[in-house]
Structure 1
Amino acid sequence: MDITNASQFLSANRLTIKGIIVACLILIMLIPTLFIMSLVNERANRQEAVAREVSARWATEQTFTGPILVIPYRESIQSEVGKTTVYKKYAYFLPDQLKINGVLEPEIRHRSIYNIVVYRANMQIEGYFSPIQTEGLQIAKEDLQMQEAFVCIGLNDFRGIEDQLSLSWNDSSHIFNAGMPDDHIIKNGLHTPVALDYNDLAKSNTFKLQLHLRGSENLSFTPVGKTTDVHFTSAWTNPSFDGSFLPVTTPQITEKGFSAEWKVQHLNRNYPQCWKDGNYNIADSRFGITLLQPVDSYSKTMRSVKYAILFIALTFGLYFFLEILQKRTVHPIQYVLVGLALSIFYTLLLSISEYIRFNIAYSIAAAATVALITLYTKSIFHKWKIAMLFGVMLTTLYTFIFILLQLQDGALLFGSIGLFIVLAVVMYYSRKINWYI
C-alpha cells in the first residue's frame, strides 16, 4: 500500500520533481564556473606579474616633479640657560611659470604570450622663478646660505633617464646628480647646485631642461608652477587621463594618436609657492596619462563568465520545456553534459583570446559551443527542427552577451531589458503547460 501510494505520488508530481532536479543541476553546474573565474584571475595576475618584470628591466611608472629651488638658511635657537644653537634648515621656492611640452612614444614589449606597453617621453621643460621674497618667511637675508642653493627634480625610477641631464640656469649649465641633500619634499630625486648671490634675489631666474625618459604605462606631473602648462602628443590611440586634474579642453583622440593640454593654477592645489620647514605632500596634486591596452581580454572574459548562470538556466529550462512538449525524457547526465559544454566555452574563450583579438576569439568559441550543443540536441530529440531552434536560441544569447560586453555605461540598462524580454517569452510559452500531470 505504501509502495502504491509512493508510486502514485511520484507519478502525480513528476514534473515538479523533475523541475527540482533541473534546478539543483543548475546550481551544481555553477561549481565549474567558480573554477573558471579562479583561472581567469590567475591568468590576469600572471599578466600583471609579467608587466612588473618588464617594467623592472625597462622603467616603472614615472612622475616628474619640479624644478624646485631650495636655499639652506641658518636658524639660531637660544636655550633657557642662554646657550645658542645654530641649525641648518631649508626654504623652498616654486617657479612662477612652468611649461612642459612633450611627445610620448609608445612601444609594445612581448614576453611569452603577453603584450606590455612601455614608452619613451621626450620633454622640453622651461620657465622662471620670480624674485625671491624672504620677508614672508621671516628669514633674514644674512641667514641665507646662497652658495649652497640647489635645484631639485623628482623622478620615480632613475633607470628611465636616457641621456645626461643638465639644467640651463640663466646663462649657465649645471649637471644633475642623483640623491637629495634634503628629502622632506621630494623623496626620490636629483639635484644640482646653482650658487646664488644676494643680487639674484631681486631678479627673475630662468631655467630650461631637456628630459628623455623611459617608463611603463603611466606618466604623471606635479603642478609646482604658479601657472603650470603641460602639452603632450602621442601616437597611442587609447589613452586615459587621470590624477587630480583633467585636460583643460577635450583631448583630441584620433586613429593617429592623441593630443592633450593641461593648465593648473597655484590656487587649484593645497600648498603655497614658498615655505620653510613645511612638509607638504605635493604628490597628491599630480596628474597625467595612462596608456591603456586596447583590449583587456581578461576583464571581458571575467564579465562574460558572470553571465554563465543565464546561459545554464535558459538552456536547462528550454530542455525541460522540450521534455514536456515532446514527451521525451532527458536524463540528468545529459543535462550535465550540456552544462559542461557551456562551461567549456569560457575556457576556450580565455585560451584563444590570449593569442588573438578578443572579438575573434569570442566568435570562434561561441560557434564551436553552439555547433556542439546543436548536434547533441539532435541526437537527444531526433529532430533537426528542434536542434536548429536550439542553435538559434544559443546564437541569439551569445550575441546578446557579446553586445553587453561592448557596452560600458548602458550595459545594466540593456541587460535588464533583455532579461525582462526573455522572462516574458518564457512565461508566455509556458502558460498552457499543465504542471499537475
Structure 2
Amino acid sequence: MQPNKPKVQSILMIVDGYYPADIRVRKEAESLALKHTVFVLCCRKENDQKIEVINNVTVLRDIYYKSFTEKGLIDMRLAINFVHPKFHEILPEIIKKNNINVLHVHDLPLAKTGFLAAKKYHLKSVLDLHENYAAALLTWFSWRKNPVIRLKNKLFFNCNRWQNYENRIIKKYDNIIAVVEEMKDRIVADTLIDESKITVITNSEKKDFVANFNTIEDSFFKAHKDQFIISYLGGFGPHRGLQTAIEGMQEVSKQIPNALLALVGPANKDVRNYLENLIDEFDVRKNVVIYGSQPFKEVARIMQSSAVNIIPHISNLHTESTIPHKLYQVLLSKKPLLVSNCAPLERVVKSNDIGFIFKAGKANSFSKEVVEIYNNYELATQKAANGFELAYNGDLNWEFTEKKLLHLYDNLES
C-alpha cells in the first residue's frame, strides 16, 4: 500500500513588515509554495500593489500605516494588550475568503493576534521566532538619546514583561520555529515545552546567491584600492559590536598602516554621532570610514571587494540566540570571515573551520585576529574556500534548510 501523500495546506503567513523585503520570510514562503498554497499578509507602502503574486506566493498588502506616528501609536497599543488592531481586524476576512488552515506567524509582536485567530477558526498554528525579541529590546534603543523615545520604550517595551509574555504564548502554539539551536535550547529551558514541538530553521542562503558574485566587474572600494579593507555590512545597532571594531583599529593601524575599516549600513543621527565620536576618541579617523545605506544589489560587490568581512557582535541574550543572513552570504563570496564568539557564530564557524573568531567585546582580541588574517592570508583564503564548499555543496545553504521546513509542514497533522 502506498503511504498517504502529505496534505496540501493553505498557509497564511503574517508579518508586520514588507514583502519581499524580509529575506527570511521570502525564503520560507517561496519554499512552502513548492508544495502548498501560500499567502502573506503584510504591510503596504504608498505605491505598492495591494495584491501581487510573486514566485507563486500571493502577497496581500492590507496593512497600511498613514505615517510613522501612526505606526508608533499602534506599536504602543499593541504593547498594552499584545493584540495588533489592524491585523486583528482583517484576519477573519482573509482566513475565510482563502480557506486558510495553517496560520504561520512571524515573530513575537504578532503572536497573540495570530493565536486568537487560529483558535477561533480552528487553524494549525506555527510561531516563527526570528530572534530573542524580549532581549533585543534591551539593546536596540540603548544608543537613542531622545527622552520621549526612551520613556516610551521604558513604559511599553520592558524586557521582563515581553519575556513573560513570550513564555506564556509559546505554550499555546502547535509548533515553534527557532532560528538557531541556541534559541531552541533557551525556549525549552524557559518554558519546559517538549522540544519536539520546535524546529530549527536557520538563516542560511540560497545557493543561487553566488551568481551575484559572478557579475562583479569592479571594486566597491575603488577610492581605497591600495588598502586592506575590513568591512562590516548591516545594521548599526548597539549589539552589532561596531564599537569593538573601531577601538580595535587603534592596534590594527599600527601593525597594518594601510588597513581600513569600512562600516556600511543605515544609521540614524544618534547612532552616527556615537560612532563618529568613537572614531575621534580612538584617533582612527584615517583608518575608519562610515558609508551610508547601500542598495541590496551592492551587498555582493562590497563583500567580494573586501579583504575580510566581519561580524563583530557583542555577547548578550539577544546575540547568543540568533544568527545573521550575511554569515552565509559571506561564505558564498569566497572571502575571509571574522566573527565574534557569540555562541551561534562560534559554533558554525569553528565546527566547520570556515573563518576566524575573536572574543566578543574585546578590542585587543579583534585586532589580534585581523593581524593574524593579514599575516596568514593564504590560510584565511583556505578557510574561506572551506566555507564556500559547505555553503554551495554541503549543508550550509537554504536548499538543505528548507527540507526541514517542508518536513514540518508535511507532518502538521501528526
TM-score by length of 1: 0.23
Higher strand share: 1
* Structure showing greater Rg: 1
Bigger relative contact order, structure 1 or 2, given CA contacts below 8 A and separation 6+?
A: 1
Higher helix share: 2
